[in-house]
Each structure stands twice: as C-alpha cells, then as structure tokens.
Amino acid sequence: MKKQKNKMKTVYEYMTVLFAVVGTLSMVSAVGAIETDQYLLGASAVCVGVASFIMTLFSQQLYSEAK
C-alpha cells in the first residue's frame, strides 16, 4: 500500500513539472505572437498558459495531500 502511495506522489510531482513547463513555453509563445501582431494566437497561448499554471497549483495541492 505504501508503494502505491509513493507511486502517486511521483506521478503528481511529474505532473507539476510538466504543467509548469507547458505554461512557461506557452507564455513565451504568447509574447512572440504579440510581437508579430498575431493577437488571436497570443490570446489563445495566454489562455493555455494560465490554465496550465492553474493545473500546476492543483497538482501541487494533490502532492501535498498525498502521504
């Protein structure tokens, strides 16, 4: 049972890192899109970035609750 919980903590940790990387890359792409006057692409990249950062916070909360 302990091994299963330890495995879930590892999954939550990897989810946190993945969502943080995706959020950061999408914010960088949003800046690039705004510089080239592609505002719709920039707005959609910002939405993906914000959603990814929210999921990062959620997976950090799940990681801290897992024992």
Place 2 in a pLDDT band, splitting at 50, 70 and 90.
low
Task: Record the tokens describing residue 39, joined without a space.
Answer: 């505002």
pLDDT tens per residue, range 26-46: 999 999 999 999 999 999 999
SS3 at position 57? helix
Examine the pLDDT at 66 and tell me if it is beyond 90.
no
* pLDDT band (50, 70, 90) for residue 7: confident
Query: What tens digit of pLDDT does each residue of 54-64 get?
Result: 999 999 999 98
Q: For 9-19, what is each residue's pLDDT tens digit? A: 899 999 999 99
- What is the C-alpha to C-alpha distance for residues 21 and 32, in angstroms, rounded to an integer? 17
Task: Report the alpha-carbon distance of residue 66 to residue 48 in Å, rounded.
Answer: 27
Q: Which residues contact 43 (CB under 8 A, 6 or more apart)?
A: 30
